[in-house]
Structure 1
Amino acid sequence: MHRIGSYRRWAPPIAFLAILAVLALGPRIGFTDSPGHLWTERNPSLPAPTVTAPNWVEIVKAVKPAVVNVTTKLTGEQDQPQMPEEFREFFKRFGPQQQEHRPAVGRGSGFIMNGNGYILTNNHVVDEANEVQVKLADGREFTAKVVGRDPKTDIALLKIDAAGLPVIPLGDSSALQVGEPVMAIGNPFGLEETVTTGIVSATGRVIGGGPYDDFIQTDASINPGNSGGPLVNAKGEAIGLNSAIFTRSGGSVGIGFAVPINMAKFVVPQLADHGSVTRGWLGVTIQPLTADLAKTFGVSRYDGALVSSVFDGSPAARIGVKSGDIIVEFDGQKISRTTDLSRLVAATPVGKGVTMRVIREGKPLVLTPTIARLTDKEETAAAGGGAGGKHTKLGLAVEPLTPDIARQLGVSIEHGLVVREVQDGSPAAEAGIRPGDVISEVDRQPVSSVEDLRRAVEKRSDGRPTLLLVHRQGSALFLTIKS
């Protein structure tokens, strides 16, 4: 995934959009069954729905004066974090995992959100820059101050010494609907004030950038140089900050991503006041609830965040949250995915008590944690590889965990089994178990020897998958293995 500075997209003809709208509305707008009921046709006695295309010409006139060109002078080298090859960081954020000299000059986009000179852009556009220049649509140029940056959401706030500037109003990204028309404006490849249009292809996309991923996906064409430019709706409101593209070639393939503007509304006030962002901390490691895990934990739905471990001394530990709890609601908000919980906790003020609904062993429970402040220490995970025995039925070789091995692997537990080998094609391999994993529980029972593992697995006679609690690189997760 490339963090981008620009997007690109194909805009389908309006007639085609009208057809799509008709099909989407289905029976609500008067379809009748065909002979044989093999398809449906519109009832000719009912009027067809009206599809109105946005007046992009007027919208461009209104918002383009507030879009700026951001040029940075960069120095030094940067280690590139590891990401899937196709999800490469634009401007070196998600590039190859090696040191590269940053270019002497970087280019991106931004837009004016406040008439007194506050400009919104991407963090990766100005990251490590020792000088930032902003060029306005009227040709004026300013040296900008980086007021604050938030790498976790890829948002940065700039300030120039000017007043009475044109602005783009902020919309409500939570109200976006898939299929809604949008427009991207920026400076792809240095081509200033380039405008492209498209639709919202999806919302809530998780692309591997971090625990707060919640991207808007669009097919509006975005390319290098568009980073930091606005994604605008048909009302002329900024509803996203163009940030990344999915590409294998370096150019747009019609899959672009924008940071939702509501996320910027949370981040920007803190950047303006403090230059950084304070986030709440609950103190749990969570994972998605898969179909197999849901069956194992006795729940019929897959909504919620499954707690795989609880940090000692954390807010969660203090109110009795346990490994295996399923968090289904936080502060009145339903939890559908793990990222929902991460974002909600992060946005909760430090010291606030919240109501949290969980499912424990199939039964509902209400807990009330008081949120603490997230620090760098809590965000940093440890890293970690091991006479033992084999469990041929599962296809893995294990050995008892010792204090020395625990230190090497960065795990804080005292008892368990270290996985030394996983046989290709075995149930263990299919479950995602890796060498270096530490198994501490089987079906919620602690294990510390190969015999413990054997007995626990052989007890399972109902054909259901076996539940393992696995510790990996300082984190814990549940896995199900079919034995």
Structure 2
Amino acid sequence: MPSVVRLLPCLAVAFLPLLSSCGRSAPPSSASYPDFADLVEQVSPAVVNISTVPAETPPAEGAEPSVPDGLDEAPEWFRKFFEQQQEDEPADGDEFFPDQQSLGSGFILWDDGYILTNYHVIRGAREVIVRLLDRRQFNAQLVGSDEASDLALLRIDAKDLPVVKIGQSLKLRPGQWVLAIGSPFGFDYSVTAGIVSAKGRALVTEQYVPFIQTDVAINPGNSGGPLFNLAGEVVGVNSQIYSQSGGYMGVSFAIPIDIAAKVARQLRDTGVVTRGWLGVVVQEVDRDLARQFGMAKAEGALIARVLADSPAARAGLREGDVILRYNGEPLPSSRGLPHMVGITDPGEIATLDVMRDGKEIRFKVEVGTLRAEQPTATPAQPPARRLGMRVRALSADERRAAQIVGGGVLVTEVGEGPAARAGVRSGDILIQLAGQVVDSPARFDEVAARLTPGQTIAVLVQRGGAPMFLALDVPPVAEK
């Protein structure tokens, strides 16, 4: 079963479809396909490479020297090339940062030095280094970050910089050409192209972003880089891939620029991001629940809990109500609700169409302000207790014996709950949770805390030297 891997960049070639010479139709002329060369030349100056110097932490006992993600699985020729690149002297005018690691990409939003990238690119960094197309390097200041949307705003001390043109992601249509520029595996300014595959994709671990799905080749290092349309406008921020191997497999996801630009403006102006809040915990409606509620099909967001003194409670919503539409927009799944509410300005009156006792009722709700301590769509409880298992970091000897290169934590305890029902056992090495690579107990807690209630997720474990996927049902409400 495939998995979602948090962003990443890419080494890839997009192949254009070819017509058989045996067919009746003549091969298309080169004019049938876009020529991206002029577009790339036009927009590349506003794209940047982002490296970091990680916060110094004492290495674990017996720990092996760390290498960039994916490098130890690469062919020998690639490893030697990458190691040689690290040993090369900087070009004239370049400042040398001895401990920097190339992690991702970004782009210049405003000409006075503001740069947008993914939050996970700079998370835990002691220093952030930005390199421009002209090879200038700057230490960047973190203006603000928003983990919920995986975005961060940086600023460098420079003026009159080239900037990107902001497009409208809402106007994108499946089938349109798009282009990405980034630094996959540290290869600066790599260009890949493809089409929009779908819009409004909701991922299990992301509650506030309706992703743009594309088939643009994205790999580690593309994270935070821009997705352009043929007009040279940024329409998305490349963020994640869907993969069985950890590398590009034809399904990539970008944060819509409409959402990203709004987050960036709030971070620039106030340093924080304000989101709407209803005060409900929701879960999926399956076929059995739909039949029980007198619904023709399984859709909507089932309210499992209404928080006291919340906007939903004041409006009269109750447990067992099924939200079918939010401001007129249908909700095929409960995963669509958080980002719809999140982009609503606090104080705005939202219209909810709700199924109650077999009848549709319309409610008017004054949307509140989401605060960090408030539950969103996920019950607030310890992740280990929520999923019914405990994990710890792998020692160097355990990792070597299991022949695991990247990621992985050891399952030390499985109690009653979702993990046991899924078939997870004590002694398993957990590698991925809902498509996210888990490389530490802290990362396990982070991913588990963001899972959407009522969803079935894929869990990749290694047992007896063999990998296997298990299906785990995320509990709809907190287990007491």
Q: Tell me which interval the TM-score lies in, with the shorter structure as reference length.
A: 0.5 to 0.7
1:58 and 2:38 correspond: yes
Summarize the Cα distance change of 1:167–1:326 in structure 2 as closer, same or farther, 3 Å threshold.
same
Instruction: Look up the SS of the partner of 2:14 in the other structure.
Output: coil
1:275 and 2:271 correspond: yes
Give the equivalent residue in structure 2 for 1:203.
199
Give the equivalent residue in structure 1 for 2:9.
6
Tell me the amino acid that sits aligned with residue 284 of structure 2: P
| Contact persistence 1:74–1:106 (CA under 8 A) | no
| Contact persistence 1:14–1:53 (CA under 8 A) | no
Alignment of 1:50-199 (within 5 A): 52-76=32-56, 105-199=101-195
The alpha-carbon deviation at position 244 of structure 1 amounts to 1.6
The alpha-carbon deviation at position 151 of structure 1 amounts to 0.8
The alpha-carbon deviation at position 14 of structure 1 amounts to 5.2
Give the equivalent residue in structure 2 for 1:433.
none
Summarize the Cα distance change of 1:288–1:121 in structure 2 as closer, same or farther, 3 Å threshold.
same
Instruction: Look up the SS of the partner of 2:350 in the other structure.
Output: coil
How far apart, in 1, do the equivalents of 2:422 and 2:155 lie? 56
| Contact persistence 2:107–2:226 (CA under 8 A) | yes
Tell me the amino acid that sits aligned with residue 381 of structure 1: A
Tell me the amino acid that sits aligned with residue 266 of structure 1: K
How far apart, in 2, do the equivalents of 1:140 and 1:15 lie? 41
The alpha-carbon deviation at position 272 of structure 1 amounts to 0.8
Instruction: Look up the SS of the partner of 1:377 in the other structure.
Output: coil
How far apart, in 1, do the equivalents of 2:12 and 2:373 lie? 41
Tell me the amino acid that sits aligned with residue 235 of structure 2: I
How far apart, in 2, do the equivalents of 1:302 and 1:161 lie? 53
- Provide, for residues 268-291 of structure 1, a one-character-per-residue CA deviation record: whole Å limited to 9, x for no partner: 111111222121211111122223
Instruction: Look up the SS of the partner of 1:376 in the other structure.
Output: coil
Which residue, out of 454, 468, 478, partners 1:473?
478
How far apart, in 1, do the equivalents of 2:51 and 2:163 lie? 20
- Provide, for residues 126-154 of structure 1, a one-character-per-residue CA deviation record: whole Å limited to 9, x for no partner: 11212111111112222211111111111
Tell me the amino acid that sits aligned with residue 242 of structure 2: F
Summarize the Cα distance change of 1:289–1:191 in structure 2 as closer, same or farther, 3 Å threshold.
same
Alignment of 1:439-458 (within 5 A): none
| Contact persistence 2:238–2:253 (CA under 8 A) | yes
The alpha-carbon deviation at position 110 of structure 1 amounts to 0.5
The alpha-carbon deviation at position 120 of structure 1 amounts to 1.0
Tell me the amino acid that sits aligned with residue 5 of structure 1: L
- Provide, for residues 6-39 of structure 1, a one-character-per-residue CA deviation record: whole Å limited to 9, x for no partner: 135553425569xxxxxxxxxxxxxxxxxxxxxx
Instruction: Look up the SS of the partner of 1:354 in the other structure.
Output: strand
How far apart, in 1, do the equivalents of 2:57 and 2:249 lie? 29
Summarize the Cα distance change of 1:277–1:424 in structure 2 as closer, same or farther, 3 Å threshold.
closer
Tell me the amino acid that sits aligned with residue 251 of structure 1: G
Alignment of 1:59-458 (within 5 A): 59-76=39-56, 105-379=101-375, 381-383=380-382, 384=385
Task: Please identify the structure whose Cα radius of gyration is greater.
Answer: 1
How far apart, in 2, do the equivalents of 1:167 and 1:143 lie? 19
Identity %: 41
User: Gaps (5+ residues) in structure 2?
Assistant: 59-67, 71-98, 387-415, 424-474
Summarize the Cα distance change of 1:246–1:311 in structure 2 as closer, same or farther, 3 Å threshold.
same
| Contact persistence 1:116–1:164 (CA under 8 A) | yes
| Contact persistence 2:11–2:185 (CA under 8 A) | no
The alpha-carbon deviation at position 52 of structure 1 amounts to 4.2
| Contact persistence 2:11–2:184 (CA under 8 A) | no
Tell me the amino acid that sits aligned with residue 339 of structure 2: R
TM-score normalised by structure 2 residue count: 0.66
How far apart, in 2, do the equivalents of 1:378 and 1:424 lie? 29
Summarize the Cα distance change of 1:16–1:261 in structure 2 as closer, same or farther, 3 Å threshold.
farther
Summarize the Cα distance change of 1:354–1:168 in structure 2 as closer, same or farther, 3 Å threshold.
same
The alpha-carbon deviation at position 474 of structure 1 amounts to 5.3
Q: Flag the structure with more relative contact order, 1 or 2, with Cα contacts below 8 A and sequence separation at least 6.
A: 2
Summarize the Cα distance change of 1:424–1:314 in structure 2 as closer, same or farther, 3 Å threshold.
closer
Give the equivalent residue in structure 1 for 2:395.
none
The alpha-carbon deviation at position 4 of structure 1 amounts to 2.3
The alpha-carbon deviation at position 119 of structure 1 amounts to 0.9
| Contact persistence 1:75–1:104 (CA under 8 A) | no
| Contact persistence 2:51–2:100 (CA under 8 A) | no
How far apart, in 2, do the equivalents of 1:419 and 1:76 lie? 37
Summarize the Cα distance change of 1:213–1:349 in structure 2 as closer, same or farther, 3 Å threshold.
closer
How far apart, in 1, do the equivalents of 2:125 and 2:351 lie? 43
| Contact persistence 2:227–2:254 (CA under 8 A) | yes
The alpha-carbon deviation at position 206 of structure 1 amounts to 2.8
Q: Aligned residues, how many?
A: 349
- Provide, for residues 40-95 of structure 1, a one-character-per-residue CA deviation record: whole Å limited to 9, x for no partner: x99xxxxx9x98422211110111111101111111469xxxxxxxxxxx979xxx
* Two-structure CA RMSD over aligned residues (Å): 3.3
- Provide, for residues 143-189 of structure 1, a one-character-per-residue CA deviation record: whole Å limited to 9, x for no partner: 21111111111111111122222122121212222222211111111
Tell me the amino acid that sits aligned with residue 44 of structure 2: K
Report which stretch shifted further, 206-215 or 151-160.
206-215
| Contact persistence 1:5–1:109 (CA under 8 A) | no
How far apart, in 2, do the equivalents of 1:372 and 1:91 lie? 40
User: Gaps (5+ residues) in structure 1?
Assistant: 18-40, 43-47, 79-89, 93-102, 386-417, 426-469, 476-483
The alpha-carbon deviation at position 266 of structure 1 amounts to 2.4
How far apart, in 2, do the equivalents of 1:275 and 1:369 lie? 27
Summarize the Cα distance change of 1:303–1:143 in structure 2 as closer, same or farther, 3 Å threshold.
same
Summarize the Cα distance change of 1:134–1:367 in structure 2 as closer, same or farther, 3 Å threshold.
same
